[in-house]
DNA sequence: AAGTGGTCTAGACCACTAC
DNA sequence: TAGTGGTCTAGACCACTTA
């Protein structure tokens, strides 16, 4: 076989061909060349563009699919993953009823304001002290039970022009709004859980007595290149519901 | 190219060749042909055994590696994953200090007995009512803090001959003991978290006042073919520590 | 030096989708 | 029917490990 074609590629420093291709695709995605929900070019076309064989290109795409960044549909094409379609609406929503039944939450916007970021929010979002942010609180219902309270912080720099109406009237999920309106794709989250107690505000909004045990959840949501785009503290009432972690499945 | 070889394979009902190969490897693993820590035959050999090309065989192994069932080492071979080696000692241990620092827990056996399984344990372990089980309690320390209490239930049928000494003197992790002594490989867990409060026994053993908020964690651990092998209820003190869930990473 | 997994190729045919 | 992704092949060479 002719190695004049294969050899120069492997000479690329500190990497492999398919990783380079993956990086190239990721760069095109981050650069907005293909938007959420759109199809990317066919495998053969992309293979030509990057100057690699179809097998190598597929390996790059394989990894992006495994990371839920792209979605393949046989016979249709390969698409940029969307939080709205693709029926993984609630990849990051892990609350289920104690009998295992899954339902979709109803969301009510409780508060909305512009403010300066707290010290903790600055740290988690990688912002300079005093950076402007949007802060709002959502109340989540499942089966007519108030289950969770989300206190969400978004950098104003990334969500320029966000209004209370955007949040109140949105027809889809929050992360779909980030995607469609602001071009920010949440592809990974980091969540840390502690035990806590309902008090004052949170007790009132959750409709439970002060002192009720709650799960206190801190989440950072990331876009491409590990860019943090959202910081939230949630409080979960587990009287009827549970937080589910299923690990290393087929 | 000669298709007399390739064609008959794809005729296999309801599946693809590499899935068949994967199933074959999984069957050999479950049947004990290759034990934890051992190398499986080289790719070329396995390709011959299953009558497939090396590419197809690699795709089957790729998936088993992604599921943490096998581990590849370039130049050495492909090995059956072990909880002891492979430096993923604590795949299922998600407790970290609030500053993010990870340390390894020290375990003390608190109680050990044989008993009849509780109704809940029977259900989770898929046992008939009244099945015999081992029940024991572990106390976990991190940095000299008592952090977690594990109440663990194991079916006697799977862990025949288990003694208190086995648990007390083991040089490695619990899941490594399951592997080495009983041939049971934990490859997946299902965890459900609720908020709770320390009371009586748990407060005493954790060294906290009654009424301290805790995370209450229910876990089922599975081996091959979704066979449940362990059921546990843990109580986690999150005063200095957190339960970490990092999702969909590269 | 021999043996292992890791990368890459070039192209075949299949299954599915849309027109 | 044309175009897409899905599967599979046969074999090359590379990088790494062990002896």
Q: What is the pLDDT of residues A72-86, one digit of tens each?
A: 988 889 999 887 665
Within an 8 Å CB–CB cutoff, is residue B11 touching chain A? no
Contact criterion met (CB below 8 Å) for A114 and A134: yes
Nearest to B247 among A188, A236, A242 (CB): A188
Binning pLDDT at 50, 70 and 90, where does residue B146 land? very high
Q: B238–A194: do the CB atoms touch at under 8 Å? A: yes
Within an 8 Å CB–CB cutoff, is residue A215 touching chain B? yes
For residue B250, the chain A residues in CB contact (below 8 A) are: 63, 67
Q: B245–A192: do the CB atoms touch at under 8 Å? A: yes
Within an 8 Å CB–CB cutoff, is residue A238 touching chain B? yes
Q: Phi/psi at A136 (nearest 5 deg)? A: -150, 160
Res A86: pLDDT:
55
What pTM was estimated for this model as a whole? 0.88
Res A4: pLDDT:
29
Mean pLDDT on A159-186: 91
CATH number of the domain located at residue range(s) A95-243 in this protein:
3.40.1410.10
State which residue of chain B sits closest to A245, comparing Cα positions. B191
Res B236: pLDDT:
98
Nearest to B70 by CA among B88, B52, B54: B88
Res B248: pLDDT:
62
How close, in Å, is residue A68 to chain B by CA atoms?
7
Highest mean predicted confidence (pLDDT) among A126-130, B148-152, B172-176: B148-152
For residue B195, the chain A residues in CB contact (below 8 A) are: 195-196, 213-215, 236-238
A78-115: per-residue pLDDT in tens? 999 887 665 555 778 999 999 988 888 999 999 999 99
State which residue of chain B sits closest to A59, comparing Cα positions. B59
Q: Does residue B171 have a pLDDT over 90?
A: no
A28-49: per-residue pLDDT in tens? 988 889 988 889 998 888 888 8
Pull the structure tokens for residue A20: 């380079």
Mean pLDDT on B179-204: 94
Nucleotide with the nearest C1' to A45 CA = D4
Window 68-107 of A: residues touching B by CB (8 A cutoff) are 68, 91-92, 94, 96, 98
Across all residues in chain B, what is the average pLDDT?
88
Top CATH class, B3-80: mainly alpha
Q: A192–B244: do the CB atoms touch at under 8 Å? A: yes
Across all residues in chain A, what is the average pLDDT?
88
Res A55: pLDDT:
87
Res A113: pLDDT:
96
Binning pLDDT at 50, 70 and 90, where does residue A146 land? very high
Domain locations along chain A: 3-80, 95-243
| CB of A13 nearer than 7 A to strand D | no
Higher pLDDT among residues B73 and A220, named by residue: A220
Q: A248–B91: do the CB atoms touch at under 8 Å? A: yes
For residue A237, the chain B residues in CB contact (below 8 A) are: 195
Mean pLDDT on A213-217: 98
DSSP A200: H
Within an 8 Å CB–CB cutoff, is residue B54 touching chain A? no
Long-range contacts of range B198-201, CB-CB < 8 Å, 24 or more positions apart? B198/B235, B198/B237
Nearest to A213 by CA among B94, B217, B212, B201: B212
For residue B189, the chain A residues in CB contact (below 8 A) are: 245-248
Res A90: pLDDT:
73
Res B82: pLDDT:
85
Binning pLDDT at 50, 70 and 90, where does residue B85 land? low
Pull the structure tokens for residue B104: 């390894």
Q: Where are the beta strands (DSSP E) in chain A?
A: 39-40, 70-73, 77-80, 95-97, 106-116, 132-142, 145-155, 188-197, 213-223, 227-236, 241-247
Pull the structure tokens for residue A138: 């959502």
Q: Does residue A6 have a pLDDT over 60?
A: no
Q: Which residues lie closer than 8 Å to B152 by C-beta, 6 or more apart?
A: B135, B136, B137, B138, B174, B230, B231, B232
Higher pLDDT among residues B82 and B229, named by residue: B229
Nucleotide with the nearest C1' to B1 CA = C12
């Amino acid at each position: 076989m002719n190695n004049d074609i294969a050899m120069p590629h492997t000479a690329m420093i500190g990497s492999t061909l398919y990783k380079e291709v993956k990086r190239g695709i990721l760069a095109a995605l981050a650069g907005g060349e293909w938007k959420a929900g759109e199809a990317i070019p066919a495998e053969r076309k992309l293979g030509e563009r990057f100057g690699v064989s179809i097998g190598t290109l597929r390996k790059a795409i394989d990894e992006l699919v495994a990371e839920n960044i792209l979605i393949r549909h046989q016979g249709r094409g390969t698409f940029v993953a969307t939080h709205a379609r693709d029926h993984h609406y609630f990849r990051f929503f892990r609350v289920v009823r104690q009998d295992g039944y899954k339902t979709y939450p109803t969301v009510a916007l409780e508060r909305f304001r512009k403010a300066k970021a707290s010290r903790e929010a600055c740290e988690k979002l990688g912002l300079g002290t005093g950076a402007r942010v949007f802060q709002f609180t959502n109340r989540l219902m499942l089966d007519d039970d108030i289950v969770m309270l989300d206190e969400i912080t978004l950098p104003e720099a990334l969500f320029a022009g966000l209004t209370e109406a955007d949040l109140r009237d949105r027809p889809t999920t929050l992360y779909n709004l980030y995607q469609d309106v602001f071009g920010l794709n949440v592809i990974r989250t980091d969540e840390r859980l502690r035990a806590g107690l309902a008090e004052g505000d949170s007790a009132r909004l959750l409709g439970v007595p002060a002192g009720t045990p709650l799960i206190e959840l801190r989440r950072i949501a990331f876009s491409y290149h590990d860019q943090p785009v959202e910081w939230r503290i949630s409080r979960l009432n587990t009287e009827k519901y549970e937080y589910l972690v299923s690990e290393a499945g087929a």
